[in-house]
Structure 1
Amino acid sequence: MIARIAVVLPAYNEASLIGPALQALRAQTLAPAELIVVDNGSTDATALIARRLASRVIHEPARGCVNARQRGFAAASAPFVATTDADAIVPPDWLERIAAHFAGAAPADAVYGPVRLDSATRLQRGGERLYLRFVALMDRLGYPHFNGANFAVRRAAFDAIGGFRSDMRTYSDLDLALRLRGQARIVYDPALAARLGAGGWHRWEPSAACSRALLPAARAAWPRHRPAL
């Protein structure tokens, strides 16, 4: 049986980008069971464009990507939920590849892939290569590195850990991965790539803020689920 996968896309003032993102999702070789846009208080035409192209548009007044994504996951009725961003373009077989991982003899509970830059400077391309190596290394060490622009999860596994943490304004996707890793089968598919414009460089840029945000969750997860090396 082919998995039924809902897609959740949070958006805030993305009128210039959300159209192509939604068109890519509508052109999937495996159609989404639901295509849900969560408008996070946009003041431009984001919601108007979304209403033309998505199955549903939900308004989440509490600002913050984590609130919008949590609201979308709660609204989805399909047994699997995938998520991407309004400035990301996924390939035509994105959902088909995800569905294949949720089926088979050893079905996954979560699937994620890398996020790449569509156009970039030489420095940014170098940063992207380092980022991709880092994600692959973390996967081999047993530490999945979810990016909100490119992952999917079995709804039952998501609900079992309480979904996203609303107290994490940033890196809630990474925190979700750390909390899932000890009790769910997570698959990294390096060929399952979403693409961003060069403005998405901030997704790879190393920063002290990222380290500070992730370190408490990593410390909490490490003693309980130390991977075998």
Structure 2
Amino acid sequence: MNSLGIVVPMRNEAPHIQRTLCSALHSAAAAGMSCELIVIDNGSTDAGYALAQALGARVISAPGLAVGALRNLGASQVRADYLAFLDADIEVPENWISRCLDSLQNGFDVVALDCDTPKQAPWYAQTWQKRSMSQTGRPRERDWLATANLFMRRTTFARSGGFHPELSSGEDKDFGLRLHAAGMRQLSLAQPPALHWGYETSWREWMNKELWRQGSYIQLLRQAPGLRLLCFPLLCLLTVLTSLRALLLLLSARLPEALLMFACSLLPAAVVALRQSARRMEPVYTMKLLVLHWLRLHIGCLALIRSLFR
């Protein structure tokens, strides 16, 4: 029987960890695979540690580490044939493992499921999650995959060199782009999606998460400088400068020019929103996505400035 080790980094995930671990165990049973759950606890102060242990997980306490180092620590404990990473707020469908195994047999090296949000999530959380999903419902070969759920052979991870141990965010992009550069194939499966239960429940939470997500961009650029990674900071800077110019024109009572400049500030967000939604043919969704991307570009600029002074 093939074996699988599932690594789950966790910090204060008591509301979600039972659902995550139970769904993983059910998927392993459905695939006829023996499974070990390895939870790496990053200093939880809630009941998550005890809840994970009660479900049979091996819980290792590792406070103070960045998320990439947590995943590396968990992977170092795995001796199974296959290795998977799950975020502690993800619920996987029953056929998660069988679908991933089929994809590995078809020549892919790393496989993930698209992630959706539960129906009760607020519109901004649903819209933001949906942007990363397939617009056609078909699998997509990608340059990198988010680490909400990743599945691979253990030997693949060993060859990769692991996650960057110091990045506070963006370690999945760094990991995936290195795999891509090494010629490894990465596949995102559209159906059925995993569910992300740790969705944002307030605007403040959404903005704080984006501030955190973009906080490692300077580190990423230092790690692997290139035009692709440079595009986002440049878009952030362009959007903020045109927004400030629009505000100054408005304060000077030059309304037509202010409106024109504001429209210019929307252009980068509009291009990205259209690229991520054009095939859906849902104008309302595209408009919602435009608003969120416009806000994200401003937040990204703030995150970049903050990271320069760390």
> Is the shorter-chain TM-score for this pair beyond 0.5, marking a shared fold?
yes
RMSD of Structure 2 on Structure 1 (CA) = 3.1
**Pair 1:52 & 2:15 matched:** no
* CA 55–133 in structure 1, closer or farther in 2 if over 3 Å, else same: closer
Which amino acid in structure 2 is aligned with residue 155 of structure 1?
R
Query: Once structures 1 and 2 are overlaid, which stretch shifts more, 55-64 or 194-203?
Result: 194-203
Q: Residue 156 of structure 1 corresponds to which residue in structure 2?
A: 155
1:84 Cα deviation (Å)? 1.0
Shift of 1:123: 3.4
Higher helix share: 2
Q: Residue in 2 aligned with 1:117? A: 117
- In 2, are the aligned partners of 1:10 and 1:68 still within 8 Å (CA)? yes
Instruction: Report sequence identity in percent.
Output: 26
Q: Which TM-score applies when normalising by structure 2?
A: 0.60
Structure 2: distance between partners of 1:169 and 1:211: 6
Q: Runs (4+) of structure 1 moved beyond 3 Å?
A: 200-203, 205-208, 217-222
Structure 2: 5+ residue stretches without partners: 229-310
Mind listing any 5+ residue stretches in structure 1 that lack a counterpart? 223-229
Kindly indicate whether structure 1 or structure 2 has the higher relative contact order, using CA contacts under 8 Å at least 6 residues apart: 1
Q: How many residues align?
A: 215
- Secondary structure at 1:173's aligned position in 2? helix
Alignment of 1:1-229 (within 5 A): 3-28=2-27, 29-30=30-31, 31-103=33-105, 106-118=106-118, 119-132=120-133, 142-144=142-144, 146-182=145-181, 183-191=183-191, 193-197=193-197, 199-200=199-200, 202=206, 209=214, 212=217, 216=221, 219-220=225-226
Q: Is the 8 A contact 1:178 1:218 kept in 2?
A: no
Residue deviations 1:135-154 (CA, integer Å, cap 9, x gap): x9xx56x522x222111122
1:163 is paired with a residue whose SS is coil
Q: Distance in 2 between matches of 1:158 and 1:8?
A: 12
The answer (yes or no) to whether the contact 1:117–1:200 under 8 Å persists in 2 is no
State the TM-score, normalized to the length of structure 1.
0.79
Worse-matched range after superposition: 23-32 or 172-181:
23-32
Cα distance change, pair 44–180 in 1 and its aligned pair in 2 (3 A) = same
Amino acid at match of 2:214: A
Q: SS at the partner of 1:191?
A: strand
